Each structure stands twice: as C-alpha cells, then as structure tokens.
C-alpha cells in the first residue's frame, strides 16, 4: 500500500506552468528517486508536497488521509518531512538546537530520545559537534544536520531536495549509503537528484520528469539500464 | 573616581531601560518581522498608565506592572491580529512587509499619541515614587532607579532564559533565523509571530512603567524611545537578545558620560554617532550576525 500518493498535481508561478498533472506514489520502506534537468519542476513538486507551494486541483494523501492544501507546519504532523534545497537548517543555532527544533511537532515528542540516538548513530560526527554553530560547519556536515533535523520529526516519508549538491564524491557516496539505511529502517524516501548514477544505485523505483510532466517510470535497475536515461542523465553515449 | 562611578551607575540604569526596550523591539522586528514605528508610543502609554494608577488609585508602579504588562500584551496581540496580519498575508516578500508595516504602524503612532494628548494633555509628567537617595560606594542613586534597573534585569533575564532554554522559545528564535525551515519543523509561524509581537508589546509596557518611575515624560516622547530601541537593536544585531543587552547598556553609559562630562545637549548626537559607527563598521551588529 502506498504511504503517500500524489495525483494530478499542477502548479504554476505566474504564467509559467511548473508542474503539469504529476502523479506518483511512495510506499513505506521504499526509496524513490525523481530524475530531471534543472527547471524540470522537481523542486516545485517537493515544495507542493511539503505544503510550501499551493497546488489547486490536485490531491495528496498520506496513509489514506488527504493532506492537500494543509499548511506546511501541519504537513509535518502528518508524517512528511522535507529537507529543502539549501538544506533548511538554522545556521545561527547549534547542532543540538537544530535537532531539538526538529522534534518540535507534537508527533515527535514521544520518541524524541530514541530518534536523537538514532540520528547520532547515523551521523556520529554530529555527536561530537552538538554545541557547534551550524553555519560554521562544512557542507557535508550541514547536510547531516538537515537530514537529522527532518528525522527528528519522526517522519514516515522523507522528502529530500538534491542532498548531494555541493558535497565531495566521498561525502556523496557516504550520504547515499546512509539514505539506504534510513530506507531499510522502514521510512519511505522521495529523493530529487541530479546525481543519477549514485541515486539509481540505491533507488527501488524512479520517475523521470521533464518540463513539469512525468515522462518515464521504472525500477531503479530498469532505469539504470534504459538507453534514454543513460543518454540524458548518466552521461553515456 | 566618584564621578566615574556615578556615571557608570546612572548609565547602567538608563542602559538597562534601553536594553529592555530593545529586547522587546527585537522580538517584534526579528521574529514577527514587523517594523513597529508605534513601539515607543506603547512605552509612553504604559508610563501614563503607571502615573494614573499611582496618582489616581494609589497603586505603586511595581504592582502596576501586574496590570499594565498583561494589558500591553493583549493590546499588541489585537493590534497584530487586526491591523498587521492582513499586511503579513498580502506581502509577497520581506521588503514589502517592511514598507507596509512601517506605513501602517506610523498611522498607529499618531492614533495612540493623539489619544494620550486628549486624555493626559501635552505637558511633561512625572510622579514621585521612592525618590530617596541610596548611598553606594560614596555616590548616591535614587532608590526608584535601582528598583527599575533590578526589574529590567529580572524581566530581561527571564525573557532570555525563556528564549534560549525552552523549546517554544527556541522555536521563536528559529523563526528569526530561517522562517521556511521553521515551518518545515512544524512551527505555526502565524501564531508564533502574533505571540512574539504581543510579547514585545508586553516588554515595552514593562519598560514604560519602569521608566516612568524616574524620568519625566510627555505624550510626544514615544518616538525618541522607538529610535533608541531601533539603534540598540541594529547595534546588537536583529534578533540577538545578548546583543541588545550589551548594546543597550553601552548606549546608556555613553549617553550618561557625555551628558556629565561634556554637555547634556550632546546626548542625541552621541547616540547617532554610535549608530553611524555601528552601521559603518559592524552593520550586522556587535556580534556579527549575518544580515538578512
């Protein structure tokens, strides 16, 4: 059964149609990647799901409950956590404060201690830096804080907008391994990426998005072997 | 030596008032994102409230705080919900909200000032509460000033602890740091902004009562306090409570020193010289928070 189901979502900025009838679903314990070029509408899609951008007409359900048009702070309560582009962290605050804020939603309070232990075991580096101001940390460490903050809200579905952006290749590889571990723990992950190679390696399924429309869909392995995908996203001839 | 101590003590009292006032303004400006030009009017209104309670009903200003602070909180909450929320809703970006809120609260300034002129008249007002000298290390300070400073420190300290040691306080600061991430962390920005604005109003209400215990005031004086609070907020860094405290105390001591050592007429000039220096050399505040 799909955890989150998006049907027929359209969104526009002024006259520009950013999303045109997009439908997709993510199950629990499933890692789904969305591949697409810059400006294809990937970021807008995640913002719509996260409640930051309105999408009149479409329908989003989370565990069978409709969450269309719900404000962003209530979307979190339904179990959807978004790590936005630019990371969505509190740069002027400490790692500890960022993680504490992640557990602000009512749904997160009960499991707060357990989730903190989980986040710190996923990202041991954060454990050493709980008192550090996030702004002063490296890009990779900031991304750990961002994902940690989102995980602290006890989500069922994690939305990630280009988490590998600006990371070194080694960091990148480490990050995708951690995402796979989070998926294995039972969370659904919807990942927007330009790094098709790495993300398809761990993805269960994937969608291709082009000019605001879903133009292809398949399992991670199938997409990786698809010549069209290879040409467009994997840099093969 | 006595003169220096005298300047330091009087400066601390004045600076404590500035710091408290600035802490309230930084709640309104840093968290609720409203540049409230009528801020000082609420301070003067609270001072008149304390005057009325003291002279009319024999309620001392410290007890008056219990009445005036909740009233200021409620009035500011209503102001935010009725007048400012529509501006917040229609603003497409922070710049637009800033312009709209400046224009809107500029109007509120004249409404409150007008009402105070009608009710209390335009003349200078004061009352005498605990104006007995206290001897400290060879110099004297009026008891009401000491009491005002103590209360400013307690209220400011409590606010600081609430904002840094509680989850909801941390959430309020988080809005000033990154409003989008705050929403994504499940913080209801609209409700939190109303609360922060009202809390800022409550703080300036408290400052008004404390100031009225030892300063002469008139219905037209609000703008002076708005300007000084704004200067301290910018010097300390928007949204930075510790910055507001340090900058407020510095401004109070600098003003007092110039008034005593050079000429009282120069205090405003010193205020703006400090402000200009801060703008030129530390535009993001003494503690160097990045500007937004």
pLDDT (0 to 100) of residue A110 = 93
Residue A101 to residue B185, Cβ atoms within 8 A: yes
The answer to whether position B67 is within a domain reads yes
For chains A and B, what is the number of CB pairs under 8 angstroms? Answer: 74
Integer Cα distance of B229 and B114 in angstroms = 22
Helix (H, G, I), strand (E, B) or coil at B132: coil
pLDDT band per the 50, 70, 90 thresholds, residue B131: confident
The answer to whether position B233 is within a domain reads no
The conformational region for residue A183 under phi > 0 = left, psi -120 to 50 = alpha, else beta, is alpha
Q: Is A84 on the interface with B (CB under 8 A)?
A: yes
- Contacts for B46 with CB less than 8 Å, ≥ 6 apart: B68, B72, B204, B205, B206, B207, B208, B209, B212
Contact between residue B26 and residue B241 where contact means Cβ atoms under 8 Å apart: yes
Residue B170 to residue A50, Cβ atoms within 8 A: no
List of chain B residues whose C-beta atoms are within 8 Å of the C-beta of residue A104: 167, 171, 185-187
The b-or-e profile of A199-212 (16+ CB within 10 A means b, else e) is bbbbbbbbbbbeeb
- Please say if the pLDDT value at position B278 is more than 90: no
List of chain A residues whose C-beta atoms are within 8 Å of the C-beta of residue B182: 90, 101
Give the structural domain span for B84.
Answer: 2-220
Residue A91 to residue B177, Cβ atoms within 8 A: yes
pLDDT digit string, tens, across residues B237-265? 887 888 899 999 999 999 999 999 998 88
Rounded to two decimals, the ipTM of the complex is 0.91
Distance spanning both ends of chain A, measured CA to CA: 38
Mean confidence (pLDDT) of chain B: 91
Over its C-alpha atoms, chain B yields an Rg (Å, rounded) of: 19
Q: What class does CATH assign to A1-79+156-164+171-237?
A: alpha beta
Residue B186 to residue A150, Cβ atoms within 8 A: no
pLDDT digit string, tens, across residues B145-163? 999 999 999 999 999 999 9
Q: Which of A81, A91, A101 to mutate to test the interface with B (most CBs of B within 10 A)?
A: A101
- Please say if the pLDDT value at position B183 is more than 80: yes
List B residues 156-195 in contact with A (Cβ-Cβ < 8 A). Answer: 167, 170-171, 173-174, 177-178, 180-189
Mean pLDDT confidence for B12-24: 95
The answer to whether position B132 is within a domain reads yes
- Please say if the pLDDT value at position B63 is more than 90: yes
pLDDT (0 to 100) of residue A1 = 59
Lowest mean pLDDT among B2-11, B40-49, B215-224: B2-11
pLDDT (0 to 100) of residue B16 = 95
Q: Is B284 on the interface with A (CB under 8 A)?
A: no
pLDDT band per the 50, 70, 90 thresholds, residue B290: very low
The b-or-e profile of B245-276 (16+ CB within 10 A means b, else e) is bbbbbbbbbbbbbbbeeeeeeebeebbeebbe
The answer to whether position B153 is within a domain reads yes
List of chain B residues whose C-beta atoms are within 8 Å of the C-beta of residue A101: 167, 170-171, 174, 182, 185, 187
pLDDT (0 to 100) of residue A237 = 43
Residue A32 sits at φ, ψ, to 5 deg, of -115, 130
Neighbours of A86 (CB within 10 A): 14
> Minimal Cα–Cα distance from A93 to chain B, Å?
8
How many structural domains does chain B have? 1
Nearest to A130 by CA among A92, A96, A89: A96
Residue B11 sits at φ, ψ, to 5 deg, of -65, -40
Specify the domain boundaries for CATH 3.40.50.300 within chain A.
Answer: 1-79+156-164+171-237
Which residue ranges of chain A lie beneath pLDDT 50? 237
- Please say if the pLDDT value at position B292 is more than 50: no
DSSP E strand stretches across B42-198: 133-136, 139-142
pLDDT (0 to 100) of residue B277 = 85
pLDDT (0 to 100) of residue B98 = 86
Whole-angstrom CA distances from B276 to A24, B283, B292 are 56, 9, 19
The answer to whether position B275 is within a domain reads no
- Please say if the pLDDT value at position B289 is more than 60: no
> Minimal Cα–Cα distance from B130 to chain A, Å?
43
pLDDT (0 to 100) of residue B288 = 61
pLDDT (0 to 100) of residue B291 = 43
Q: What percent of chain B has pLDDT over 70?
A: 98
């Amino acid at each position: 059964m799909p955890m989150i189901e998006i049907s027929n979502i359209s969104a526009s900025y002024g006259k520009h149609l950013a999303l045109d009838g997009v439908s997709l679903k993510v199950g629990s314990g499933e890692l789904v990647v969305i591949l697409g070029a810059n400006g294809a509408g990937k970021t807008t899609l995640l913002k719509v799901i996260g409640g930051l951008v309105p999408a009149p007409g479409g329908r989003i359900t989370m565990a069978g409950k409709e969450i269309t048009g719900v404000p962003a702070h209530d979307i979190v309560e339904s179990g959807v956590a978004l790590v936005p582009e630019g990371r969505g962290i509190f740069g002027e605050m400490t790692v500890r404060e960022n993680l504490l804020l992640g557990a602000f939603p009512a749904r997160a309070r009960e499991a707060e201690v357990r989730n903190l232990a989980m986040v710190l075991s996923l990202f041991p580096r954060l454990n050493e830096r709980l008192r550090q101001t996030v702004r002063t940390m490296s890009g990779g460490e900031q991304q750990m804080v961002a994902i940690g903050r989102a995980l602290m809200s006890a989500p069922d579905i994690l939305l990630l907008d280009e988490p590998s952006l600006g990371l070194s290749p080694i960091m990148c590889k480490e990050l995708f391994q951690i995402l796979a571990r989070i998926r294995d723990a039972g969370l659904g992950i919807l990942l927007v990426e330009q790094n098709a190679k790495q993300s398809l390696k761990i993805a269960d399924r994937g969608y291709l998005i082009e000019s605001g429309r879903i133009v292809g869909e398949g399992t991670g392995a199938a997409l990786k072997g698809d010549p069209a995908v290879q040409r467009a996203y994997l840099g093969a001839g | 030596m006595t003169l220096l101590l005298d300047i330091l003590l009087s400066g601390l009292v004045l600076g404590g008032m500035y710091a408290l006032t600035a802490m309230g303004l930084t709640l309104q400006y840093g968290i609720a994102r409203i540049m409230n030009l009528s801020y000082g009017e609420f301070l003067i209104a609270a001072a008149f409230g304390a005057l009325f309670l003291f002279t009319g009903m024999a309620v001392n200003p410290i007890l008056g705080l219990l009445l005036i602070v909740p009233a200021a909180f409620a009035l500011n909450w209503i102001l935010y919900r009725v007048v400012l929320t529509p501006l917040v809703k229609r603003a497409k970006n922070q710049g637009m909200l800033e312009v709209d809120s400046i224009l809107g609260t500029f109007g509120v300034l004249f409404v409150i000032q007008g009402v105070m002129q009608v009710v209390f008249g335009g003349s200078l007002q004061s009352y005498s509460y605990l104006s007995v000298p206290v001897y400290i290390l060879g110099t004297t300070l009026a008891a009401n000033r000491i009491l005002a400073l103590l209360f400013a420190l307690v209220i400011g300290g409590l606010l600081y602890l609430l904002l840094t040691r509680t989850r909801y306080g941390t959430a309020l600061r988080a809005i000033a740091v990154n409003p989008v991430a705050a929403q994504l962390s499940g913080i209801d920005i609209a409700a939190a902004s109303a609360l922060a604005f009202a809390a800022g109003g409550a703080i300036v209400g408290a400052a008004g009562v404390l100031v009225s215990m030892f300063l002469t005031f008139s219905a037209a004086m609000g703008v002076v306090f708005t300007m000084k609070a704004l200067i301290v907020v910018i010097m300390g860094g928007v949204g930075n409570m510790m910055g507001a405290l340090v900058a407020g105390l510095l401004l109070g001591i600098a003003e007092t020193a110039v008034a005593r050592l050079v000429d009282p007429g120069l205090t405003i000039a010193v205020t703006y010289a400090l402000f200009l220096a801060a703008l030129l050399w530390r535009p993001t505040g003494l503690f160097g928070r990045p500007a937004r």
